[in-house]
Structure 1
Amino acid sequence: MTSTAETKATPELTPNFRHVRLALAREKGHPDGDREQGYDLLVPLDAEGRLDAAEWKTHQAACRVRRFAHGQTELVGRLRRKPGGTWYFDYAEGDEDDEVGFRLGEERFVPGEYVSIRSDGAMHTYQVKLVERL
C-alpha cells in the first residue's frame, strides 16, 4: 500500500500518455539508419498522434525524454515548449544543450512517420518506431 506522500510525488498520467521510440533515419554516414541512436519519449498524444499541448501543460513534470546512442552517455531530460509553441528537449539548466524539434507540434507520432530534431548543431531525422500505451 502506498502512502499519501508517495501518491502525491508520483504524477498521475492520463490515458493519452504514450511511450514513443524514435530511431535515427537514413542519413550521410548511416545509409540504413541506426536503431541504436535515438530517443525514448514519455508524452501525451491527442487522437491524431500529435503532441497534446493542453495535456502537456498540466503534466509537464511527467513529460520526459531519454537520448541514447552507442558509445555515449545517455541524457535524460524534459519535453519543454517555448513561447510561440516551439517544442524542445531540455537536459540541463541553460540552453546550450537544448535540442529543438522541427515543427514537432504539427508532426504525427505514429509508427513509420518521421520527425526532425536539431542536436549538436545539426538537423537529424528520426523515424517513429514504436508508440505504446503505458
Structure 2
Amino acid sequence: MGLSRIVMRLARNPGTEFADGDDHRGYALVAPLTPDGRLDELAFREHRNDCIARRFAPDEDPVEGRLARRGERWFFDYDDSREVDEPVYRLGEHRFAVGEYVSITDEDGRLLTYKVTEVQPV
C-alpha cells in the first residue's frame, strides 16, 4: 500500500491548559498504512526515508522530523540522537481513521490526546 498523509489535532484534554482542545496544534505524518488503517511495518521498511512527522502549533515554528521504529516501539524523531523524542502510546496498535484518538507524550513529558482529522493518500 502507498503512503498516507495523516493529520492529528489536539483534542480535549481536561485538567490541562488544553481542556477544550486546539485545532491549531497537532501533527502531520506521512506513513504507510494497512488496509485497516494501521501502520504497515513492512511498507515502512521500504519507505522509511519518506515517513515524516511534523509538529505544528500557533506559538512556535513547525518542527520537522521522521517517524521511527526501534524494536516494537514507534516514535517521532526530530534529531539523530539515540533518545526517543516523542513517544506515542501504542502507536503500532492505533487505527488511523478520521475520528480515532492517539495519545502522544509531548516535549514536556505530558501525555496529551489528539484526534485524527484527516487521512489522505499521498
TM-score by length of 1: 0.84
Matches within 5 A, 1:45-124: 45-83=33-71, 85-95=72-82, 98-120=85-107, 121-124=109-112
Q: Whole-Å Cα distance in 1 between the matches of residues 20 and 36 of structure 2?
A: 28
Q: Of Structure 1 and Structure 2, which has the larger fraction of its residues in strand? A: 2
Flag as ranges the 4+ runs of structure 1 deviating above 4 A: none
Displacement of 1:97 after TM fit? 6.6
Instruction: Report the counterpart of residue 10 of structure 1 in structure 2.
Output: none
The aligned length equals 119
Instruction: Report the counterpart of residue 8 of structure 2 in structure 1.
Output: 22
Alpha-carbon deviations, 1:74-116, whole Å to 9, x = none?
Answer: 1001100012x11000001214571011001000000000001
Is the CA contact (8 Å cut-off) linking 2:75 and 2:84 kept in structure 1?
A: no
**CA RMSD across the alignment:** 1.3
Counting aligned pairs with the same residue, the percent is 41
Displacement of 1:30 after TM fit? 1.9
Is the CA contact (8 Å cut-off) linking 1:16 and 1:46 kept in structure 2?
A: no
TM-score by length of 2: 0.92
Structure 1: which 5+ residue stretches go unaligned?
Answer: 1-14
Query: Which has the larger displacement, 36-45 or 95-104?
Result: 95-104
Structure 2: which 5+ residue stretches go unaligned?
Answer: none
